[in-house]
Amino acid sequence: MDTLVGAEFAPDMTYLNTSTCGLLPRRAVAAVQEMAGANATGRGGLGDGGFEIVNAARASFARLAGVPADRVAVGGSVAVHIAVIAASLRPGAEVLLPEGEFSSVPTPFAIRGDLRPRYVALDRLAEEVRPETALVAFSAVQSADGRIADLAGVRAAAAAHGARTLLDASQSAGWLPLAAGAYDYTVTAGYKYLCSPRGTSFLTVTEEAQESLVPLHAGWVAGEDPWASTYGPVGELARSARRYDESPALLAYCGAARSLALLEEIGVERIHAHDTALAARFRKGLAALGHVPVDAGDSAVVALPGLAHRHAGLQQARVAVAVRAGSLRTAFHLYNTTEDVDRALEALGPAA
């Protein structure tokens, strides 16, 4: 793994900010540059090759997520995927969400005005599911502090009460193994731990859930035969989850196909072991320095409350981290090393 990762990534700083944006591997950068160059000379365009690139990314994500490729739709943002799901709910439906959830998840439900969003503490999410709950919408890993949800508990509670589940895997897919078929819907941004360009996102839909989900933004690419769907209303929508495709940003998906193939080559289980080991080393070092991070379990994300003011100093030391909800947030991924952990600890120093 070390040899492959070293050949693909070249950070020139201590980069601990994948929860904001992941680094692109060299193979993705080269592919995007090649396609952009072809477009500049007239040799590139959509053509049939564009669909081949998108479908390669779709298939690769499907394997990483543990579902058939025909259960995966592609798009440009998580919020758009969630908006389609929000539009499918009946008026007055209760949507259960964690307090402090990243805004792309609750906003499409809140903005409708005729749904009943209900917010509860993350650690009470499973026990707060009730018979009137239509949907439980939550992130596998919280953006603000890296806490991991009780995935099995929420699934069991939702099944017991007949509620559907929507999992946002944007902060987890790529380092935390994902079984997307266990949820009615999953949504994932590609530009974080999947190391793909911005403008790539994935929606998974079970066959049962697809029956009630209306493809509101369907265009020609959502047709069963896209090239026969270019004029007039689309006569036949794709029978698979591809009916929820947005028109894809080909440059972004050209890079994503290469990035996702790299993650497959390495394996998410190996990445999980690597990332969480680095986070555990960081937590141990923080304890020795007198710092107290958020208790996020075995997460690759470590947040330090009350240390937002240290952000500028870490930047000056060329340690890239983020500030979220008043905490200093660090995130470890496959291109990080034990040296990165130690540099961050040294730059942070003892607690005041």
Q: What is the pLDDT of residue 1?
A: 79
With a cut of 80, say whether residue 61 has pLDDT above it.
Answer: yes
Q: Examine domains 2-23+267-348 and 32-266 and report if their fold is the same.
A: no
334 is written with which tokens? 């496959």
- What is the tens place of the pLDDT at every residue in 181-240? 999 999 999 999 999 999 999 999 999 999 999 999 999 999 999 999 999 999 999 999
Q: What is the pLDDT of residue 210?
A: 96
- What is the tens place of the pLDDT at every residue in 134-179? 999 999 999 999 999 999 999 999 999 999 999 999 999 999 999 9
Q: What is the pLDDT of residue 78?
A: 98
With a cut of 70, say whether residue 103 has pLDDT above it.
Answer: yes
Q: Which residues contact 195 (CB under 8 A, 6 or more apart)?
A: 22, 23, 24, 25, 28, 174, 259, 262, 263, 333
Percent residues over pLDDT 70 in the chain: 98
Q: What is the pLDDT of residue 48?
A: 52
CA dist., res. 275 & res. 150, Å (int): 20
Q: pLDDT averaged over the chain?
A: 96
Average pLDDT over residues 50-71: 96
**32-266 CATH:** 3.40.640.10
- What is the tens place of the pLDDT at every residue in 295-340? 999 999 999 999 999 999 999 999 999 999 999 999 999 999 999 9
3-state secondary structure 40-93: HHCCCCCHHHHHHHHHHHHHHHHHHHCCCHHHEEEECCHHHHHHHHHHCCCCCC
Q: Where are the domains of the chain?
A: 2-23+267-348, 32-266
| 8 Å CB contact between 344 and 317 | no
Q: What is the pLDDT of residue 116?
A: 98
**2-23+267-348 CATH:** 3.90.1150.10
Q: What is the pLDDT of residue 44?
A: 66
Where b means 16+ CB within 10 Å and e means fewer, 171-205 reads bbbbbbebebebbbbbbbbbbbbbbbbebbbbbbb
- What is the tens place of the pLDDT at every residue in 31-46? 999 999 988 888 765 5
